[in-house]
Amino acid sequence: MTTQFAWNLDAPGKRCILSGNEAAARGAIEAGVRVVASYPGSPSVQILECLAAAARERDMYAEWSINEKVALEVAAAASFAGLRALSIMKADGLNVAMDFLTTLPLSGILGGLVLVVSDDPGAHSSVKEEDTRYLAPPAHVPLLEPSTPEDARDMLVWAFEISEKARLPVMVRLVTRICHARGNVQLKPIRGDSRRPHFAADPGFVTAARFHARTHERLESLHPDFESSVFNTYNGPQRPELTLLASGVSHCYAMEAVERLGVGDRVGILRVGTLWPVPEKPLLDVLARSRRVLFLEEIEPFLEEQTKIVAADHWDTLGPLTFLGKKSGDVPWVQKGRGMGEMDPDIATRAVADALGLDFSPVPPELLARRDALPELSMPARLPSFCAGCPHRASYWAIKTALALDGREGFALGDIGCYALGVMPTGYQTIRTVHSMGSGVGLAGGFGKLRQMGLRQPVVAVIGDSTFYHTGIPPLINARTTGADYLCIVLDNGTTAMTGHQPHPGCGVTAMGDPACALPIADFVKNLGIPLTMGDPYDVHRTVAAILDLLDKGGLQVLLLQRACSLQAGKAGGKNRAYVDPDKCRGDDCGCSRLCSRTFACPANIWDEAAGRAAIDEVLCVGCGVCAALCPQGAIVVEPEGGQDVLAMIH
Amino acid sequence: LNIIISGVGGQGNILASDLLSRTFCEEGWSVSVGETYGATQRGGSVVSHVRLSGRHAYGPLIPLGQAHIIIGFEPLEVYRILREYGHASVRVVMNDRPSIRWKPCRRTAPIRLPWTGSPKPPSGRSVRRIEGGAGTELAKAAGNAQALNVVMVGAFRRPAVGPACQTGLPATHRRDLSRTPAGDQPQSF
């Protein structure tokens, strides 16, 4: 009876629980998608994983592409050959693919082409809160946004239809609270498709500015579909005191706000599911019946601005209106997660209550008083941490130590991946910049040319293996040509670890599990003629010495530090056993200030309060031995126990 | 009905909420689940909001002060959740083994748990009843400390509400549950 893999069941009518990601994958399967390409990015990683798992059975092709631009190009090729195709990326990835996306509506497409973009309000797993809805208008791409997982499935299916009809790619914006939410989805029939792809001589797919007018006509042609779409629905009284305009998951919060406040007879809700081109008719209907409008949406006030444009176009018939939203300050920006763009039921309810002049406190005052009376515990912050035995921790220890020993105020630049935690205490706050994929290396290329103007500090760029393939190679080529002076340290853990161990071109395996040729990073570096040094981050003292030596030499250098991600190595089984010799550990008399559990701070290094000695949590410990190398008393013993050379496993 | 499952990354909270939500779905409820894990990786706070309704699906987040049941995998995380979502009639099922990480690079005073050792509520007034127990120990007794999530779901069955019945679980987990003492005797938990 299990509903696992429910996204692939051929069981119309069955009610399942699917995550937003699974539901989007299900929508693609129901629509008969044939080619899917993506680069892993949270929160939408699982969509391609679901489709890759079903690919063989459904006669589909799924790939993890080297980056998002290539992914969209792979999907577009299938569309040109008449098949339905899907590309998936996180918001940041759309920027990478944007160059190609802006040319697609001009060339037109043939088979339905859908682009799922996942935004991350609250920046739960991103460095920024980018609202990709703003990128649809300049690209001339129609934009949809679902409110629930079931909606995501329905919208995917419809997106393929309108894409084929208008001959335009269609963008579906998901957010974290859709991707990582789960809800009931009733399965619908799967449209089987086994057509043979063929690239016909006619129509052509040339991008040229002369097709700009045709693109606008195609967008215009969608107006009737958008204006009558079931995804734009109004619920509420005929002449509401206040109308809530909600898009995405905020629609759920809007309904909950009205229910909690008991104001269903005073407040109407227009849910806008087709966001761009703006569905004018339903908007005008609502604006004509309501003098006051409140916007509930995630991240930026996109719907608010689009609605104001419509209102301005029709100001003479609409008359004065009051708009309440993020722009007016009536819907507050509230810090949630690491950002301020996420909506929740309490923000929504408070905004509606304020607009109606009602008293509302999400927590009743008497409960607030009780809560304040609770003892203040110094709660552990539970900051993100590298896993026990993570090779990145050892690498950052070595980099930080070497830069300090070097003594010339050298600095390290990083970017996106697990190793971005190098800005946090778990990475000893070693890296000083984190921007976008590959940017650490690009920035180092700039710093490395400031030598001639007198920059004396050593420059280190840190990049992970998957990021190296994604966008790390062009800046290295650039530096090789310009003669930029820096040390690039590649942290190669043999996988795309941050997003859940997806394969990359160095892994020798495809998204569908087929063997592929592995392209070692070392070969790229050697072929570029850049001096290459290899090392094992677990060998921390030798790594420090190597970094010091390379900084001393100067010039463009690459240090490749290889060690399998400790989570993957742990799954492979066989590990050394580490323990603290209580006779050698001198506890707080040592003077090391609990170096292993406080400073090195691997989760497996713990402090035995009763014994007053360091200890190892053997459940967590992977036996890497780095702490043993660092302990000033040599009190940590590592015993090989069926241990194997993990390095050999990656390459 | 609003259920919050809280714990620390790596404890299996997500699978627990998955088991519950699938079970409730089979029983015909409208279920919405919202999960917060992001980049917490192992050792960060992980929270699942499970919302059940006979009428329509709610959004994936539970409003402040509106939890009905809290399933806590870790005492400090229960406390964290109670401060925001607790009220006088909330019920808590809690594993009593704390998981504490020192802030790296800093001297930190040991954190004292006011109620460790005895499964007593952290505050008698923001909670109706706490069913505390040695979930990790029970899971170890069942063969694997990583079975904690199934133990917790089992413990939730009796004191909470009816529909999380054993038949609703997938075969592999059903087997785990039948091996798990807490699954059959939540009152001894």
pLDDT tens per residue, range A108-147: 999 999 999 999 999 988 999 999 999 999 999 999 999 9
| Residues of chain A neighbouring B41 (CB-CB closer than 8 A) | 384-387, 418
Nearest to B45 by CA among B84, B1, B87, B2: B84
Sign of the CA dihedral with A282 first, then A287, A292, and A296 last: positive
Cβ separation of A379 and B61 shorter than 8 Å? no
Nearest to A443 by CA among A429, A463, A426: A463
With a cut of 60, say whether residue A192 has pLDDT above it: yes
With a cut of 70, say whether residue B36 has pLDDT above it: yes
Most A CBs within 10 A among B13, B51, B103, hence the mutation to make, goes to B103
| Residues of chain B neighbouring A183 (CB-CB closer than 8 A) | 30-33, 57, 60
Higher pLDDT, B153 or A185: A185
Residue type, A126: S
Give the model confidence (pLDDT) of A77-89 as tens digits. Answer: 999 999 999 999 9
Nearest to B42 among A349, A603, A607 (CB): A603
How close does chain A come to B144, measured CA to CA in Å? 11
Structure ipTM = 0.87
Q: What is the mean pLDDT of chain B?
A: 65
Averaged pLDDT for residues A424-442: 96
Nearest CA in chain A to B104: A598
* Strands, sheet with A411-414, edge to edge from the N-terminal-most edge strand: A431-434, A411-414, A459-464, A487-492, A557-562, A532-535
Nearest CA in chain A to B113: A377
What is residue A304's predicted lDDT score, i.e. its pLDDT? 97
Nearest CA in chain A to B32: A183
Cβ separation of A385 and B101 shorter than 8 Å? yes
DSSP state of A534: E
What is residue B140's predicted lDDT score, i.e. its pLDDT? 60
Percent of chain B with pLDDT over 90: 10
What is residue B147's predicted lDDT score, i.e. its pLDDT? 66
Nearest to A249 among B60, B79, B88 (CB): B60
| Residues of chain A neighbouring B168 (CB-CB closer than 8 A) | 1
Instruction: Give the CA distances from residue A60 to residues A34, A55, A78, A594, in Å, rounded to whole numbers and listed in that order.
Output: 4, 5, 11, 55
Averaged pLDDT for residues A347-356: 96
Nearest to A598 among B22, B31, B105 (CB): B105
Sign of the CA dihedral with A59 first, then A64, A70, and A71 last: positive
A433 neighbors A447 (Cβ within 8 angstroms) = no
Nearest CA in chain B to A255: B58
Beta bridge partners of A115: A87, A171
Sign of the CA dihedral with A322 first, then A325, A329, and A332 last: positive
| Residues of chain A neighbouring B123 (CB-CB closer than 8 A) | 370, 373-374
Cβ separation of A382 and B38 shorter than 8 Å? no
- Look up the pTM and report it: 0.90
Q: Which two tokens stand for residue A617?
A: 């949590």
List B residues 109-168 in contact with A (Cβ-Cβ < 8 A).
109-111, 113-114, 122-123, 125-126, 145, 168
How close does chain B come to A242, measured CA to CA in Å? 21
Nearest to B63 among A345, A425, A597 (CB): A345
Percent of chain A with pLDDT over 90: 87
Q: Residue length, chain A?
A: 651
Residue appearing with tokens 């409008």 = A293
How close does chain B come to A605, measured CA to CA in Å? 10
Question: Distance (Å, rounded) from C-alpha A369 to C-alpha A194?
Answer: 65
List B residues 34-93 in contact with A (Cβ-Cβ < 8 A).
34-45, 56-65, 76, 79-80, 83, 86-88
- pLDDT band for B100, please (50, 70, 90 cuts): low
How close does chain B come to A468, measured CA to CA in Å? 21
Nearest to A183 among B32, B40, B125 (CB): B32
- pLDDT band for B109, please (50, 70, 90 cuts): very low
Nearest to B41 among A16, A183, A385 (CB): A385
Higher pLDDT, B96 or A208: A208
Which run of H or of E encompasses A154?
helix A149-166
Give the model confidence (pLDDT) of A367-377 as tens digits. Answer: 777 667 666 65
Other Cβ atoms less than 10 A from the Cβ of B9: the count is: 21
Nearest to B43 among A15, A182, A385 (CB): A385
A104-113, B77-86, B132-141: least confidently modelled range: B132-141
Cβ separation of B63 and A256 shorter than 8 Å? yes
| Residues of chain A neighbouring B34 (CB-CB closer than 8 A) | 177, 180-181
What is residue A647's predicted lDDT score, i.e. its pLDDT? 37
| Residues of chain A neighbouring B83 (CB-CB closer than 8 A) | 371, 374
Nearest to B57 among A16, A148, A426 (CB): A148
Phi, psi of A71 (to 5 degrees): -60, -45
What is residue A64's predicted lDDT score, i.e. its pLDDT? 98
Nearest to A384 among B18, B41, B58 (CB): B41
Nearest CA in chain A to B82: A371
Most A CBs within 10 A among B22, B49, B55, B116, hence the mutation to make, goes to B22
Longest dimension (CA), chain A: 87
With a cut of 70, say whether residue A379 has pLDDT above it: no
Residue appearing with tokens 């009190």 = A635
How close does chain B come to A166, measured CA to CA in Å? 33
Nearest CA in chain A to B42: A387
Averaged pLDDT for residues A571-579: 81
A452-456, A476-480, B83-87, B107-111: least confidently modelled range: B107-111
How close does chain B come to A143, measured CA to CA in Å? 22
With a cut of 80, say whether residue B134 has pLDDT above it: no
Helix axes A20-30, A149-166, angle to 10 degrees: 40
Give the model confidence (pLDDT) of A461-497 as tens digits. Answer: 999 999 999 999 999 999 999 999 999 999 999 999 9
